[in-house]
A and B are shown apart, each in its own frame.
Chain A
Amino acid sequence: MRLLTHNMLSSNIKGVTNGFPLRIEIEKVVEKQVDFNADFLRNMFPKIEWKALVGAARTLGYVELPEEVEPSRLDSEDFLRKFHHALLELHLEEGALVCPETGRRFPVSKGIPNMLLHEDEV
Chain B
Amino acid sequence: MSRPELQAPPEIFYNEEEARKYTRNSRIMEIQSELSHRALELLALPEDGVPRLLLDIGCGSGLSGDTLSESGHQWIGLDISRSMLDVALENEVEGDLLIGDMGQGLGLRSGVIDGAISISAVQWLCNADKSSHIPRLRLKAFFGSLYRCLARGARAAFQVYPENLDQRELILSSAMRAGFAGGVVVDYPNSSKKRKEYLVLTCGPPSISTSTPNGKGEDGESSSDDDSEDEDNQTVSISDRHRPKKKQKITKKGKGREWIIKKKEQMRKKGNVVPPDTKYTARKRKARF
Contact = CB atoms under 8 A, between A and B. Distances in A.
Interface of A: 1-2, 4-5, 7-12, 19-20, 37, 39-40, 43-44, 47, 49, 88, 110-117, 119, 122
Contact of A116 (B72, B101, B145, B149): B101
Contact of A4 (B53, B80, B107): B53
Interface of B: 49-53, 72, 74, 76, 80, 82, 85-86, 89, 96-101, 104-109, 111-113, 130, 132, 141, 145, 149, 151
A113 B82 CA distance: 11
A9 B76 CA distance: 10
B53 A11 contact: no
Contacts, number: 85
Contacts of B141: 122
A122 B104 contact: yes
Contacts of B53: 4, 8, 44, 47
Contact of B85 (A5, A11, A112): A112
24 contacts: A1-B96, A4-B53, A7-B109, A8-B108, A8-B149, A10-B109, A12-B106, A40-B50, A44-B53, A47-B111, A47-B151, A49-B109, A112-B97, A112-B98, A112-B99, A113-B98, A113-B99, A114-B82, A114-B99, A116-B101, A116-B104, A119-B132, A122-B104, A122-B105
Given A10-B107, A11-B107, A40 B74 contact: yes
For A37, A39, A114, A115, the residue with the greatest tally of chain B CB atoms inside 10 Å of its CB is A115
Contacts of A10: 107-109
Contacts of B89: 110-112
A111 B97 contact: yes
B99 A9 contact: no
A116 B109 contact: no
B107 A12 contact: yes
A44 to B, nearest CB: 6
Contacts of B107: 9-12, 19, 115
B104 A8 contact: no
Contacts of A39: 49-51
Nearest to A3: B96
A117 B132 CA distance: 13
Contact of B50 (A7, A43, A112): A43
Nearest to B137: A122
B104 A5 contact: no
For B80, B107, B132, B141, the residue with the greatest tally of chain A CB atoms inside 10 Å of its CB is B107
A23 B85 CA distance: 24
Contacts of A4: 53, 74, 96
Contacts of B151: 47
B97 A12 contact: no
B12 to A, nearest CB: 14
A5 B251 CA distance: 48
A116 B80 contact: yes
Given A10-B109, A12-B107, A112-B99, 5 more contacts: A1-B96, A8-B113, A39-B50, A110-B86, A116-B99
A115 B99 contact: yes
A29 B101 CA distance: 26
Nearest to A37: B51
A88 B76 CA distance: 12
A26 B207 CA distance: 46
A20 B111 CA distance: 14
Nearest to B92: A32
Contact of A47 (B99, B112, B145): B112
